[in-house]
Amino acid sequence: MAQDRPPSNRSTTQRAAVLRAVESVHTHPNAEEVYRLVRKNMPNISLATVYRNLHLLADEGKLREVQFLGDVLRYDAMTDPHEHFYCRACHRVWDLDSSLPETVLRATERKTHGSIERYALDYYGLCSHCRKSTTSRD
Amino acid sequence: MAQDRPPSNRSTTQRAAVLRAVESVHTHPNAEEVYRLVRKNMPNISLATVYRNLHLLADEGKLREVQFLGDVLRYDAMTDPHEHFYCRACHRVWDLDSSLPETVLRATERKTHGSIERYALDYYGLCSHCRKSTTSRD
DNA sequence: TTCCTTGCAAATCGTTTGCAAGCGC
DNA sequence: GCGCTTGCAAACGATTTGCAAGGAA
């Protein structure tokens, strides 16, 4: 049976620019925001190219896809395990250190009889800034 | 200044049917699946009504919205805090007991200076069934 | 009677895809 | 030169919206 090799990803200026754009901010940008960032230096790049490269870079493990309730996919250049706080008012995201003990992961793996490849631990609430300036019902 | 009261939600047969549909399954259905379920007994309900009532019931706290990476919003009738295992191959979801100690929640709250209203702890991997029948690269 | 709710259809949003031309290796 | 990659525009799937008629309180 034929060994179908995966396509070897070439390095293009667009791909590098997309990666650099995500790495340059700590806002966990979505595709549209990455598009805006990249266009500053590369005005002809298309949105489709941004989408394609974001997926590809995530597959390669150079970026991490994250998503919060009711929001679109966002991208994170911090690929080491960590957690997030998402403000439901301003939609900003804060990175938090990993707090989930390895023992909890293993226990869950035993309970599910599945293999855990990654996890997402997302906290939702109001950030300190929005807590002051927003009514609690948003 | 005028106190604008929120609309008082009326009870309609459609709304009750949507809630019952989600409660009747443990598959964490999305809007389309709820629509299919409800139409069995109520063939004229519209998809828009299903969407509107799912949101409304979630606002009321009678349903919980959940979402996994690359998937659409789903609904869960289990509103008590618990966690999920999501199989990336068959997209089935398993409920897991809450494993996050209260102490971790409080510590995070202190770190973020925000108020944590809820959290989502989602594990991703292959379930025991898909682990056997699927190649690891999916 | 009030005004929330529905069904329908159209609109919108985020994302993906087909295709011909371009470019990395 | 081969074949991955791009820009463009069209297509797509999921969800939301405007509106007039219907129904709960």
**Structure letter (DSSP) for residue B134:** S
Give the closest-approach CA distance of B101 to chain A in angstroms: 10
**What would the 3-class secondary structure string for B14-33 be?**
HHHHHHHHHHCCCCCCEHHH
Percent of all residues in chain A with a pLDDT value above 70, rounded to a whole number: 91
List, for residues B23-54, the tens digit of each pLDDT value.
999 999 999 999 999 999 999 999 999 999 99
Cα B62–Cα B65–Cα B69 angle in degrees, nearest 5: 165
Buried b (16+ CB within 10 A) or exposed e, B78-106: eeeeebbbbbbbebebbebeebbeeebee
List, for residues A1-11, the tens digit of each pLDDT value.
555 566 788 99
pLDDT interval class at A127 (50, 70, 90) = very high
Token duo for residue B85: 């295992």
pLDDT score recorded for residue B14: 98
Would the CB atoms of B114 and A87 count as touching at under 8 Å?
yes
Cross-sheet strand order for the sheet of B115-126: A93-96, A83-87, A115-126, B115-126, B83-87, B93-96
Gap between the Cα atoms of B60 and B64, Å rounded: 9
Q: Using a CB–CB cutoff of 8 Å, tell me whether B118 touches chain A.
A: yes
pLDDT score recorded for residue A138: 47
Task: Name all domains of chain A by residue range, CATH numbers in brackets.
Answer: 1-79 (1.10.10.10), 80-138 (3.30.1490.190)
Would the CB atoms of B121 and A119 count as touching at under 8 Å?
yes
Token duo for residue B114: 């925000």
pLDDT of B137 higher than 50 = no
- Max CA-CA distance within chain B? 64
Gap between the Cα atoms of B49 and B36, Å rounded: 13
Percent of all residues in chain B with a pLDDT value above 90, rounded to a whole number: 74
Entry pTM: 0.92
